[in-house]
Structure formats: C-alpha cells, structure tokens
C-alpha cells in the first residue's frame, strides 16, 4: 500500500475511533431525536394529516428525516473534529508532513461521511418500527446518501477552517443549515406552497437531496433526478476544490 493511502486510512480510522469512543454524543442523541420526530409528526400529527402526495404521511417523512440526520451529523463531525485539531495545534504537524492536501481533506471527509452513514442507518432502522421500508431504487438511494454526506462534510470542513472559536462552529448549523433543512421539503410537499415560496424552495440545495432520497425509497420526487444529481456533483467538486485551496494557502490554519 502506498504511503498516501496508508495516511488516508490512518486519518479515517482515527475519525471512526473518535466517533465510536464518544458514541453517547455522536450516535445516541440523533437516534432519540428522530424517534421523537416519528412519534410526534408521524404517529400523532400524521394520523390527522392522512396522506401527502398520495402516500401516507409517515412514509413521506421517513426519507426527509433520514437525510436530515445524515446531513447534520456529517457536517457536525468534521466541523468539530477538524476545529479541535486546529485548536489543539496538531493540525500544523499534518501540514508540514509529506502528506498531500487531498489526503488530509479526504481522511476527515471520510470520517464525516461514515458518521453520516452510521446515523442514517440507525434512523432508517428506527423508522422500521413505525412503517414498512422498501427501496425501489437502491443505486439512487446509496448515491444520494454518499453525495449528500460528502457535500456537508466538505461544508463542515470549510466552517472549521474559518472558525476562530468554538462558538463559530454552531453559527452555521443554527442559522443556515437548520432553516434550510426544515424548508427543504422534509415535512411537506413543495406543491402545497404558493408560487413564490415554491420558486424559493427550488433555490435550496437540501430540497434536491431530500427529494432524490425520497425517490430512492418511495419512487416519488418533486424534481428530476438529472437536476438533483448534477447539483450534488457540482457542490462536491466546488467544495472539494475550495477545501484543497484553503489547505494549500493555509488560510485560518497557520498563525
């Protein structure tokens, strides 16, 4: 195995060990939160709503809740982990090592993606206690999960690079990520909105991820898969290039 692949595997393995070591903070809270969503929105409110776009409300919200958990945890993992490395000053050891920047970025992103996948799997398992899950389009389902987790891992990395204190880590999830998620069609169909709100929703990238995942699980979507995947791939390339550029320039990393 080449030295670069060994380094990549080492960083990713360290990230996974961190996730499992503090599983009470990384895996349990999202499981509890999503269980409450299923109970309150799915069982209590959903029983009164009935159907959404011709399918039961519980089935409708499952893809959105799973995707929401993946996005939040992929973002949160790398933003806190990389900022912790920067705060502890040991990121400088990586920057002066022979490791290329893509290895550093790839290792941390792999950790974020793996946490997103683990939490997503847990939430999907929990949803099976409330409804039956089928996957008519497994390739689209898996591709959406991987691309969505990668996008928000990269976004979390950018946040961590620019953050100067721990409070800065919470600003983006609180004021940007959470509103975009709730307004991304997790709990409702965009067809219910007035024209101006529907047009605004189509500017929300999370809307495309949620609908692509919903298509993978339910075979139904408010957007075309070509548009959704083109957008997700574009975000991966743009954020990946930005992350490599930030490492190359040492912005927010060297003092």
pLDDT at 231: 96
CB 135 within 8 A of CB 59: no
Query: Where does the pLDDT of residue 165 fall: very low under 50, low under 70, confident under 90, or very high at 90 and above?
Result: confident
Whether 230 shows a pLDDT value over 60: the answer reads yes
Q: Quick check: pTM over 0.75?
A: yes
pLDDT digits (tens, 9 = 90+) for 18-50: 999 989 888 999 999 999 998 888 777 877 888
Q: Kindly state the average pLDDT of the residues 138-162.
A: 95
pLDDT at 154: 96
CA distance linking residue 76 with residue 27, whole number of Å:
12
Range in 11-15, 182-186, 202-206, 210-214 the model is least confident about: 182-186
pLDDT at 255: 55
CB-based burial, 20-55: b 16+ in 10 Å, e otherwise = eeeeeebbeebeeebbebbeebbeeebeebeebbee
Token pair, residue 236, equals 């991966």
- Quote the radius of gyration of the chain (alpha carbons, Å): 19
**Local structure of residue 179 (DSSP, 8 states):** H
Task: Indicate the burial class of 144 (C-beta count within 10 angstroms; 0-12, 13-18, 19 or more).
Answer: buried
């Amino acid at each position: 195995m080449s030295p670069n692949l060994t380094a990549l595997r080492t960083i990713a393995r360290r990230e996974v060990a961190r996730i499992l070591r503090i599983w009470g903070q990384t895996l349990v809270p999202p499981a509890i939160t999503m269980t409450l969503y299923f109970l309150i929105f799915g069982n209590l409110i959903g029983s009164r709503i009935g159907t959404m776009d011709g399918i039961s409300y519980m089935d409708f919200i499952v893809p959105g809740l799973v995707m929401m958990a993946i996005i939040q945890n992929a973002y949160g993992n790398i933003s806190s982990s990389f900022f912790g490395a920067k705060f502890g000053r040991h990121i400088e050891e990586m920057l002066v090592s022979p490791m290329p920047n893509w290895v550093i970025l790839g290792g941390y992103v792999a950790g974020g993606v793996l946490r997103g996948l683990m939490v997503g799997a847990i939430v999907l398992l929990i949803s099976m206690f409330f409804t039956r899950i089928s996957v008519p389009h497994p390739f689209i389902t898996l591709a959406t999960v991987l691309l969505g987790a990668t996008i928000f891992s990269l976004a979390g990395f950018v946040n961590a690079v620019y953050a100067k204190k721990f409070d800065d880590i919470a600003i983006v999830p609180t004021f940007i990520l959470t509103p975009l998620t709730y307004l991304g069609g997790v709990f409702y169909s965009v067809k219910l909105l007035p024209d101006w709100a529907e047009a605004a929703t189509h500017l929300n990238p999370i809307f495309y991820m949620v609908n692509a995942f919903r298509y993978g699980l339910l075979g139904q979507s408010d957007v075309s898969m070509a548009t959704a995947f083109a957008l997700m791939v574009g975000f991966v390339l743009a954020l990946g290039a930005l992350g490599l550029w930030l490492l190359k320039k040492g912005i927010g990393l060297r003092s």
